[in-house]
Structure 1
Amino acid sequence: MAHDHHEHDDSCGDECGHNHDHSHEHNPTDELVTVRDLIRYATSRFNRNKLVFGHGLQDAYDEAVYLVLHTLHLPIDRLEPFLDACIPTDERTEVLEIIHRRSDERIPAAYLTGEAWLGEFRFTVDERVIIPRSFCAEALADGLSPWIDDASQVTRALDLCTGSGCLAIVMAHCFPSAQIDAIDLSPDALEVARINVEDYGLQDSIRLIQSDVFSALKDERYDLIVSNPPYVTAASVDALPPEYLHEPAMALGAGEDGMEIVRRILRDAHQRLTPNGILLIEVGHNRAEFEAAFPALEPVWLTTTSEEEKLLLLRADQLAA
């Protein structure tokens, strides 16, 4: 996310008109003059409306900064030089519209901006795909060491339930010699994935396949299968905050215990892995549900920046029937 420095001084001192003439009727938002004002206003509004931030940004302030900078076409990793920049009325109108849509319609920020980030990777997203937020990307960042000694050992990999294509793209960067299949049941999701694969110029490395789990595959076997499948329990689906209802329902819910798709993956994974292959699955908050459903399995639970272990790793020999 490197950006060029702007040479001119964007601060505006006193000429910004913080000293409004209050003799005429005006809209209270007319007093929001600078980037700082707009961020403050958005943060307060988001907190007042009790918005939920589960799509990549931590809290109301982070989301306010991101939405204001993105809408003003400013580098999203450099706030300081612009804090006191005065915002002309047309730009302010645009920023306020985004702030109000986020707070009133509870649309996740990524759908308002059309982009989402996983670490340094940017992806195009819209309401056809779940917003990328997988802990798998963190685990992949170090090449799944120590379970994979050498990235060049991975020549075939599979991203199961690919959605926007995000994990397939991360895998292509971590394992440059791998041919990667990216599977999703949704043709709409695969259209978005195609945009992202082409944006990264990875058409030769990543093959997009419409399939219900493994069903459309022939006899392919993989050194690595990664999946961030739907895993939300029925009770949790019923309690989802409004933000999540903008996402495709099929990308979230997975039956009573959230393990519906995971069961299908584990049933067939052994036939899909090479003898030394590895399976990485994200199950979110559902470690207890996983352990109840598969008491005989002893996966390695990977630690990430999350406060709980949400990723499990199994070797092919653990999955032998």
Structure 2
Amino acid sequence: MSQSTTSLVQELQTLRDFIRWAITSFNRHNLYYGHGTDNAWDEALHLVLGSLHLPWDTDQRLLDARLTQLEREKLLELIRRRCEEHTPLPYLLGESWFAGLPFKVDPRVLIPRSPISELIENNFSPWISEAAPPRRILDLCTGSGCIGIACAYAFPTAQVTLTDISEDALEVAEDNIARHHLQDRVFATASDLFSALQGERYDLIVSNPPYVDATDLSLMPDEYRQEPELALAAGEDGLDLVRVILAEARQYLSDQGVLVVEVGNSEEHLQALFPQVPFLWVDFESQARGVFVLTAEQLDEFQADFAAAVNDSSS
């Protein structure tokens, strides 16, 4: 431990001291906030309280509680890593929240932040009827498993399949299935998109696939560069996987099924590629964009266009 760190361990004593010190440290460094917070104050609050297993809305009377030396040393190390290494906060804490639920996360998986959480919390209304909830759900490119697991909570009678090409990601997803005690209804399977799902049919397919185009990938802040590139990069226009999903999803979707896909900033590329397709772009209360909905009927109608796009991209 350096002399300056040793001094800080002695000088900083309370929760309030560390929150203030973290804010000062964050403001001195060129940090990017995009993994659950959007400012230094909230980031500091979540880091200090989260690392001590205290809720973010802890009673303010606790802020002047003195910390043990081990706690002070741990907090200083986390603040150092956040500032010097630009490690995202959820990786430091080993946890992220999605749709009101906690999930284990580490550098093997993307940090949950999809606006699809809002759709899940609204049970995908109006595209899914309350009178006919999905019996089988597929979370394609699952990562941590957060989307599929949240869907299992939203639809308590549904069976949910989580798929990913990354064995590392599937290990995290399995841990999250066990954390939420859903082993009887949620199953993780290694699959390159639909390759391991022959003969299966789902009433709801939800996907947050890699969709970052080459330009956006080159401009990403350091925090995002610590996430697995496999979960982000998707070719020059960000649509390498989305083309295949559109071309193949209908084979795995029930006749009354719905496909929901997030494409983020690649929305403009998708609209330019398929100007004839009436993608329904979801309006979110959070003002997020880049998530579309298509029905099985629409996938049937434009199947030839989707197949042609895959062929064109591979030629």
TM, length-normalised to structure 1: 0.88
Q: Which residue of 1 aligns with 2:48?
A: 68
Q: Which residue of 2 aligns with 1:270?
A: 250
Q: Which residue of 2 aligns with 1:21?
A: none
Q: Which residue of 1 aligns with 2:192?
A: 212
Segment of structure 1 superposing worse, 186-195 or 37-46: 37-46
Distance apart, 1:28 and its partner CA: 5.3
Q: 1:312 aligned to 292, 299, 305, which one? A: 292
Q: 2:205 aligned to 225, 229, 252, which one? A: 225
Q: Structure 1: which 4+ aligned runs deviate by more than 6 Å?
A: none
Letter aligned with residue 167 of structure 1: I
Partners of 1:183 and 1:212 in 2: how far apart?
Answer: 8
Distance apart, 1:221 and its partner CA: 1.3
- The answer to whether residue 236 in structure 2 is matched with residue 294 in structure 1 is no
Q: Which residue of 2 aligns with 1:283?
A: 263
Q: Is contact 1:231-1:254 (8 Å) kept?
A: yes
How do residues 126-145 of structure 1 correspond to structure 2 at under 5 angstroms?
126-145=106-125
Q: Is contact 1:114-1:125 (8 Å) kept?
A: yes
Partners of 2:185 and 2:36 in 1: how far apart?
Answer: 27
Q: Is contact 1:151-1:175 (8 Å) kept?
A: no
Distance apart, 1:151 and its partner CA: 6.3
Letter aligned with residue 122 of structure 2: D
Q: Which residue of 2 aligns with 1:87?
A: 67
- The answer to whether residue 231 in structure 2 is matched with residue 251 in structure 1 is yes
- 1:275-298, CA deviations, whole angstroms, 9 ceiling, x for partnerless residues? 111011111122211211222211
How do residues 174-189 of structure 1 correspond to structure 2 at under 5 angstroms?
174-189=154-169
Segment of structure 1 superposing worse, 252-261 or 76-85: 76-85
The aligned length equals 296
Identity of aligned residues (%): 47
CA RMSD of aligned residues (A): 1.6
SS state at 1:289 partner: helix
Letter aligned with residue 35 of structure 2: H
Q: Is contact 1:38-1:68 (8 Å) kept?
A: yes
More helix by share: 2
Larger radius of gyration: 1
Q: Is contact 1:287-1:310 (8 Å) kept?
A: yes
SS state at 1:122 partner: strand
- 1:197-251, CA deviations, whole angstroms, 9 ceiling, x for partnerless residues? 0111111111211111011111111110000011111111111111112111100
Letter aligned with residue 42 of structure 1: A
Letter aligned with residue 173 of structure 1: Y
Letter aligned with residue 274 of structure 2: F
Q: Which residue of 2 aligns with 1:13?
A: none
For structure 2, list consecutive stretches of 5 or more residues without a partner in the other structure. Answer: 1-5, 304-315
